[in-house]
Amino acid sequence: MGGGGMATEAVNLRIPEEVRAVAGDPNRLRLALIELSAQVKDVITLGRGDPDLATPPHIIAAAEQAMRAQRNAPTPLAGLPELRAAIASKLHRENGLPVAAENIIVTTGGQEAVFLIMQTLLDPGDEILVPDPRYTAYDEAILNAGGKLVLVPTDHADAFNLRPEAIEAAITPRTKALIIISPSNPTSGIVTEDRARAIADIAIRYNLIVISDEIYEKFVYDGWQHFSIGSLPSMDNRTITLNGFSKSYAMTGWRVGYVAAPQDVIEGMTRVKAVTTGPAATVSQWAALAAITGPDDAINEFRAIYAERRHILMDGLRAMGMDYSDPRGAFFLWTNSASTGIHATELSYLLLKEGRVLIFPGTAFGEQWSGYLRISVLQPTAQIREALERTRVVVEKYRR
Amino acid sequence: MNGHLARPLAARLNGLSALPLLPDNAAPVPAHVIDAAKAALDRGETHYTDRAGVPVLRALVAARIEKQCGVQIDPKAITITCGLAEARSVAVRVLTKPGTAILCPQGFAEVAGVAHLIGAEMITQLDQPVSLAYLTPADPPEIMQAAIASGAAIVWDLTHSGPAAHPALDPAIAPRVTTIDSLDAQFPGWRIGWLAGSEMADRLRGFKQSLTICTTSVSQWAAVEWLQKQ
């Protein structure tokens, strides 16, 4: 395991001060690169996880219908009752979760869901197990709640699947919860059903809460299957399932996520939400209702588009001599860039400045991942091909 | 699903009882605002916006504050939030810290709630040192003046109107004044508010981003239309 063996000190890297100043803070590093990219003309962005595809027309039509019918008043804090019921129905039908509407809270995007979960669960000093590498918004939410982040290593050879023995090794008397992110951001690995079953046994044995982030569930490829750990016997009263509309339906700007959990968790989260953001925007919730009760044609179409793009990316990366982890889900390629001999933070900056391509360094998902890049497939194929060519030129120029 | 979690919830939830209420008597949303919202959707405004909010909305907010209070704020120091609740929540979390007191003469529920969650205390009378003075133009002048003189960070919440002048009119005080307002009175379901100004603007924006990434795009474009016609 490990991040690829690059030196981790930012001090010797060829990066500007605004990047150097935040190089040790993954969240700020991502934001700094996004802000720098806004100043780069003709940039191709394979960075932020914002689908380039449009929200499907039937969802926009439903939003318009609600607005024009003056269904604009604020909803209850936990969400529009019709939406909560539809989410519960979906989770029961598709994911095998034994949930009802009162087990659901609608949030202002998935990121708020993470914040509310941590505020509701954690007391100062509680430890929470997080797979590494990880989307580091989790770090902030945990630290804000006074919790302690304990990293669980995952590795390339295992396609970044979670290893039950690694989880068990990280458990202490202060461990309160375990996070599973499947499919994973940033690795695009998944937690397979056999591993999920073994992890559930551990959670029951050590009386742990499992937070299952399934926001990329609709994007699984090559015959792999998504599996919800909350569907397993005896897991229903210890699993908190997080999902949302941003990724599945290309609805990032609408800001709608949701959580399914035991009722006391939902009640606690609702009380925190009342003094955090209030209810999610009403128009967005009507749009989400149309999404979750409507046809899945658009999702299937999105999946086929992403599958084609990732094959183009995989071919291009192999041609450059770069390896990547088996991308079983999501829409990223977690790419091992160690063969370039360039620290990922520096390579990311060079790709942006000279190649006009925004790709996040592995260090934006954990400081040790200096030998990796996270490349998204969220651009049309022509742009992806162009980005690959620009990347090739920069890598050839600076390869050590 | 069973009603209770296998392990107890955080102790901080105990005593978190204050639940703010949103207006339920707002007027119908004007047709031109809905038209603008639909036009935004039609041109693909369905993605994340700038984390601080769409630039045109931030400029309109700056103009509104200048017109209303005579205070000039750089639009770059403005962050659009998910309603008043997020503006108040982010302000209290960023501008104060656990173990301190927050003066809030109006006793706003969000301020009390967030103070409780972070282990601070909300007080309505200035009878001890405070880390944050959460004020409105309607507050008693003597409390307001004493709080400002204490050197505490200041929130100036414009959702309660009153006779007092904006404290940021004094250049010596302006760096520690964050202005808050929202469109909850007009469009409570659209969830639009803002945090404006102060030397803490970057940190306020950063916390908002970590909480909700950005504010609902279609709501921001509806707010643009409404503010442009004011």
Looking at residue B54, what is its pLDDT? 98
Closest by Cα among B4, B49, B79, B85 to A266: B4
How many interchain CB pairs under 8 A, A with B?
217
Is there a contact between B16 and A275 if contact means CB atoms under 8 Å apart?
yes
Q: What is the pLDDT of residue A272?
A: 97
Write out chain B residues lying below 8 Å of A264, CB-based: 3-5, 9
Find out whether B29 and B199 touch, Cβ atoms under 8 Å.
no
What fold is seen in the domain A72-293? Aspartate Aminotransferase; domain 2 (3.40.640)
B28 vs B31: CA distance, rounded Å: 9
Residues 6+ apart with CB under 8 A from B31: none
Q: Tell me which chain B residues have a C-beta less than 8 angstroms from the C-beta of A74.
A: 22, 24, 188-189, 191
Residues of chain A with CATH 3.40.640.10: 72-293
Contacts of B161 (CB under 8 A, 6+ apart): B137, B138
Q: Give the up-direction half-sphere exposure of residue B91: CA atoms within 13 A in the CB hemisphere.
A: 38
Q: How far B170 CA lies from chain A's nearest CA (Å)?
A: 31
| B82: alpha, beta or left? (left if phi > 0; alpha if psi -120 to 50) | beta
Show the tokens assigned to A258: 């949701």
Interface check B38 vs A, CB under 8 A: yes
| CB neighbour class for A87 (10 Å; exposed up to 12, middle 13-18, buried from 19) | buried
pLDDT of residue A6: 56
Orientation of helix B217-228 relative to helix A282-293, angle to 10°: 140
Tell me the mean pLDDT in the region B191-208: 97
pLDDT tens profile B133-164: 999 999 999 999 999 999 999 999 999 999 99
Q: Which of residues 129 through 158 in chain B touch A, CB cutoff 8 A? A: none
Domain range summary for chain B, segments of one domain joined by +: 48-228
Q: What is the pLDDT of residue A121?
A: 98
pLDDT confidence of residue A3? 57
**Both structure tokens of A193:** 């059903």
Please, are residues A237 and A265 in contact by the beta-carbon 8 Å criterion? Answer: no
CA proximity to A136, closest of A374, A375, A364: A364
Report d(CA A281, CA A73) in Å as an integer: 9
Output the pLDDT for position B95.
Answer: 98
What ipTM, to 2 d.p.? 0.97
Q: Is the preceding peptide bond at A262 cis, omega within 30 degrees of 0?
A: no
CB–CB of B84 and A278 under 8 A?
yes
Q: To the nearest whole angstrom, how far is the Cα of B113 from the nearest Cα of chain A? A: 6
Helices (H), A51-174: 57-68, 81-95, 110-121, 137-144, 164-170
Contact residues, chain B, for A89 at CB < 8 Å: none
A263 with B48: Cβ contact below 8 A: no
Report the sign of the C-alpha dihedral through residues A276, A278, A283, A284, in that order: positive
Contact of A4 with A322, CB cutoff 8 Å: no
Nearest to B85 among A60, A68, A275 (CB): A275
Q: How far is A285 from chain B (nearest CA, A)?
A: 10
* Beta-carbon count within 10 A of A165 CB: 9
Q: Which residues of B touch A50 (CB under 8 A)?
A: 47-48
For B97, name the nearest residue in chain A, comparing CA atoms only. A144
Check: CB of residue B111 under 8 Å from CB of residue B102. Answer: yes
Tell whether domain B48-228 is in CATH 3.40.640.10.
yes
Residue B16, chain A, CB below 8 Å: the answer is: yes
Q: Which amino acid is at A68?
A: R
Q: CA-to-CA distance for A212 and A228, rounded, in angstroms?
A: 8
**Which H or E element spans position B123?**
strand B121-123
- Residue B48 CA, chain-centre distance (Å), reads 20
Distances from the Cα of B225 to the Cα of A178, B35, B220, angstroms: 45, 9, 9
The answer to whether the Cβ–Cβ distance between A275 and B113 falls below 8 Å is yes
CB B90 within 8 A of CB B204: yes
Tell me which residue in A261, A268, A277 faces B83 most closely, judged by beta carbons: A277
A275–B2 CB contact, under 8 Å: no
* Min distance B102 CA to chain A CA atoms (Å): 16
CB contact under 8 A, B191 and A279: yes
Taking 70 as the threshold, does the pLDDT of residue B18 lie above it? no
CA distance A160 to chain B (A): 25
Residues of chain A with CATH 3.90.1150.10: 10-49+298-398
Q: What is the pLDDT of residue B205?
A: 96
Q: Which class does domain A10-49+298-398 fall in?
A: alpha beta
| Closest to A242 (Cα-Cα) out of A213, A272, A265 | A213
Inter-chain CB proximity A55 and B209 less than 8 Å: no
Enumerate the residues of chain A whose CB falls inside 8 A of the CB of residue B194: none
Across chain A, which has 400 residues, the per-10-residue mean pLDDT values are: 52 84 91 92 94 96 98 96 98 98 98 98 97 94 97 97 98 98 97 98 98 98 97 96 97 98 97 96 98 96 97 96 96 96 96 97 95 97 98 94
Q: Are the beta carbons of A237 and B4 separated by less than 8 Å? A: yes
Tell me the shortest Cα–Cα distance from B26 to chain A, in angstroms: 8
Nearest chain B alpha carbon to A145? B118
Digit-coded pLDDT (tens) for B37-47: 999 999 999 99
Cα separation, A176 vs A211, whole angstroms: 11
Neighbour tally for A300: CB within 10 Å: 11
Q: Which residues pair with A334 in a beta bridge?
A: A374
pLDDT for the residue numbered B48 = 96
Interface residue of A91, A112, A255 to substitute, partner B, most B CBs within 10 Å: A255
- At residue A134, φ and ψ (nearest 5 deg) are -150, 160
